Structure 1
Amino acid sequence: MRTCAKWAAVFGVISVLSAPAASAAPDLPPITPVLSSYQGCRTASTVDTNDIPWAQAMLRPDRAWQHANGAGVTVAVVDTGVDATSPALAGRVANAGEDCVGHGTFVAGLIAATPRQDGGFTGIAPGARIVAVRATDHAGNATADVVANGIRSAVAGGARVVQVSAAVTEGNGALAAAVRDATAAGAVVIAPASTGDPDKAVPSFPGAYPEAIAVSAIAPNGAPVRTSAPQIKVDLAAPGAMMTGIGPRGNGLFVSGGDAVAAAQVSGTAALVLSYRPALSPQEIVRRLRDTAYPPPGNAPDPLLGSGVIDPEAALTAEFPAAGGKPPIAPAAVHMPPPVDTTPEVTAAVVATAAAVVIAAVTIAAVIIPRGRKRGWRPAP
């Protein structure tokens, strides 16, 4: 029944997003992983809002904070650099410097931004420390060798969680060895499963390596952003469309998306797990992240969702049987509504349609099923 309750909470988020207040939210400037040839460095955002982002409302990291908030854990962000001028990261970023693209700062905020005084956006693990590792050129372009060196620098800097946002479409021996060595040193390497457009997904490295956790993005309705997954390894899924977060040069908010952004939610959750259970090995952390995720429809691994959508609280608190195996969960099949437009311009009307479908599902789970059980009804095997 825990899975039913969890998905009911997810569906409730969608109904909140369809409310008129959500459609009136300010337009946030976008951040992309790479700057185009005609773009200069990202300028500061002057837009702010106290609205709770949909991903935050879905994952509810605050439920895990009563146990741990990431304190004592260092997370490396291998990306475009991290600008620490935002108050949300003040005093907790090593190697901070220029971030022309802004993507590394955005990802670091998703992982570890502190809660705002007036509410709204916060990171998954606001007590964690960030070590910035720039692995791209000025515009955000990366190579396998530079990313490999970035991973090694991250581990040398004491990172137990290595978020590799600067993914590349072709790996090499140096990158594969860097991931293996990082895991052997006790670090968890987390990376996007793919790059490119939703209908033209390209496998990315190091996410394609078996030692790394490859993450794919979901939209506000819980459906995968990707429409197909040819030759893409997916271990876990997390929110990764229309994501709100901080950026460079101030405290204004931006919007971004993609598998690399989704991976930041998993990196933040891994930091929470390590903060609460510091003795865990990388393999034990991966097991927790996978086995406590919201399972895909049918309770079986899915090519677009992997083991399911990350669950921060369960990843911390679940008690596993001594003999191995998953924690005792009674999953229920969930049929998600069709995918919605995942661009920043998605309309409230589309989300509202999805909300109507899932609200009906919640009603069944919350009202009809309990009444049936009182009469002795049991689901068919």
Structure 2
Amino acid sequence: MIGRALVASALALHLSAAPALAQEPVKCNPKRASPAIAESWAQRRLNVQRVWPLTMGQGVTVAVIDSGVDETHPQIRLAGKADLTNTTYRDCVGHGTAVAGIIAGQPRNDVPFYGVAPGVRLLSIKQSNDTSGDVSVLAKAIRAAADENADVINVSIEAQDQPDLRAAVNYALGRDIVIVAAAGNQQKDDGTSSPSYPAAYDGVLAVGAATPSGGRSTFSNPNAVAVLGPGQEISSTWTGKGYQSKLEGTSYAAPYVAGVAALVRARFPNLDQVRVRRRIMLTADGASGKGTGAGMVNPFLAVTMLLPSEQVAVAAPVPPPLPASAVRKAVPPDSRSMEVATAVAAGGLSLTAVVMAFWMIVPMGRRRGWRAGSRTAATGATPGSGPN
């Protein structure tokens, strides 16, 4: 417990640019929270508890860049926090607390709500006191999360393209961090939409909002969408130690996917951020129209599916061949030696035959006085056995 407090303090001291005396925000009036919550369709649809026997996200650090997180909530457990607004760590909107709960809300027996990856190490980096914020501060927050060795960064914020934001995203991607960002909500009355950043940058996993039926929500920006996450009629944790229901927006779809990214990183620690994003897209439920990307994210398949191409990519390298000196060359046959050996063997056999013959014939000749044997003896006839 003391170690966790020290980590949180170190993060706060390293990242916070607050003045000596932090001032309370001028307006800090979040929507009132409800003391109770019902199980949402998103939890039933994703059913992340099927994955928990394999991993709950342990060992993975997820940074939430948002309006802050209410760490007094009984289902929120922070490992570190930072305030880049020079105000306080307090969540004056409720948005960041809801996002954090979707990612890592701790399961409780008395509450039917839980996060996707409750085992992660959760960081809160506050970049705004309202629903918008400064793009330059957002860029600083992304860099700060990267410097704190985050494995996954959730950005449920819409912004305009800006050089420092693009550079910050590239900086984080270069440090092998998975960046999950909300694709944005359509703002124009004529129904047209424009790209939202950082979601529209190459290398960022852009998330659109899905309805309970699995289709894209009408408000979800169709540009650059990689996958969908539940983003309509959502329930989650809220500032004030309570809950909020009927939330909607790609802001709440992104943390579902960020939680899945954390599960994948925990289950496959050797996959880089490119292959983590690829795995999430390849295991999604399939596209169902414009702006749906690969379809609804599927936590169970993302963690369990065997991808042959991925197995080839991460297979152990083939061992190098043995050096030439390790194998002794065969000695060529010595023809001369073989000829000599054959001659010696033949001579030995001949000599043996002579000795055997001498050993048998000499004693026989001595017994007969060296006289030739009789005819009958030669033919084998017995004397006196002829006809009378």
- Structure number with higher relative contact order (C-alpha < 8 Å, ≥ 6 residues apart): 1
> What is the deviation of 1:143?
2.5
* Aligned residues of 1:188 and 1:282 also touching (Cα < 8 A): yes
CA distance in 2, matches of 1:109, 1:208: 25
**1-side partners of 2:186 and 2:291: how far apart?**
15
Q: Look up the equivalent residue of 2:278 and give its one-letter code.
A: R
CA distance, structure 2, for counterparts of residue 287 and residue 106 of structure 1: 27
The percentage of aligned residue pairs carrying the same residue is 33
| Residue 154 of structure 1 pairs with residue 141 of structure 2 | no
Residues 186 and 219 in structure 2, CA contact (< 8 A), matched pair in contact too: no
Amino acid at match of 1:59: L
| Residue 101 (1) aligns with residue 93 (2) | yes
Q: How far does the alpha carbon of each residue in 1:98-134 deviate from its partner, in whole angstroms, 9 at most, with x for none?
A: 1101101110000000112224111110111211111
Distance 2:253 2:78 in 1: 25
Mapping of 1:1-381 within 5 angstroms?
A: 40-49=28-37, 51-95=38-82, 97-136=89-128, 138-168=129-159, 170-197=160-187, 199=191, 201-226=193-218, 232-297=223-288, 302-322=289-309
Number of positions where the alignment pairs a residue of Structure 1 with one of Structure 2? 281
**Partners of 1:80 and 1:166 within 8 A in 2:** no
Residue type at the aligned position of 1:149: K
Distance 2:269 2:125 in 1: 23
Structure with the greater alpha carbon radius of gyration: 2
Aligned twin of 1:358: none
**How much is the aligned-residue C-alpha RMSD, in angstroms?**
2.3
What SS class does the counterpart of residue 75 from structure 2 fall into?
helix
CA distance in 2, matches of 1:224, 1:255: 17
Unaligned 5+ segments in structure 2 are 1-25, 84-88, 313-388
| Cα distance in 2 between the residues matched to 1:48 and 1:290 | 34
Deviation at 1:260, TM superposition (A): 1.5
Alignment CA distance shift 1:257-1:53 (3 Å): same
8 Å contact 1:75–1:271 — kept in the other structure? Answer: yes
Superposed displacement of residue 149, structure 1: 0.7
Q: TM-score, normalised by structure 2?
A: 0.68
* TM superposition shift of 1:324: 7.2
- Once residues 227 and 124 of structure 1 are traced to their aligned partners in structure 2, the CA distance between those partners, rounded to angstroms, is 24
SS class of match (2:171): helix
Output the TM-score relative to the length of structure 1. 0.69
Distance 1:244 1:282 in 2: 29
Q: Take 1:235 and 1:249, find their aligned partners in 2: how far apart are those partners? A: 34
Distance 2:166 2:149 in 1: 20
Q: Could you tell me which amino acid in structure 2 is paired with residue 312 of structure 1?
A: P
User: Aligned AA for 2:262?
Assistant: A
| Stretch moving more, 126-135 or 87-96 | 87-96
Q: Greater shift after overlay, 208-217 or 84-93?
A: 84-93
Q: CA offset at residue 202 of structure 1? A: 4.1
Stretch of structure 1 that moved more, 252-261 or 66-75: 252-261
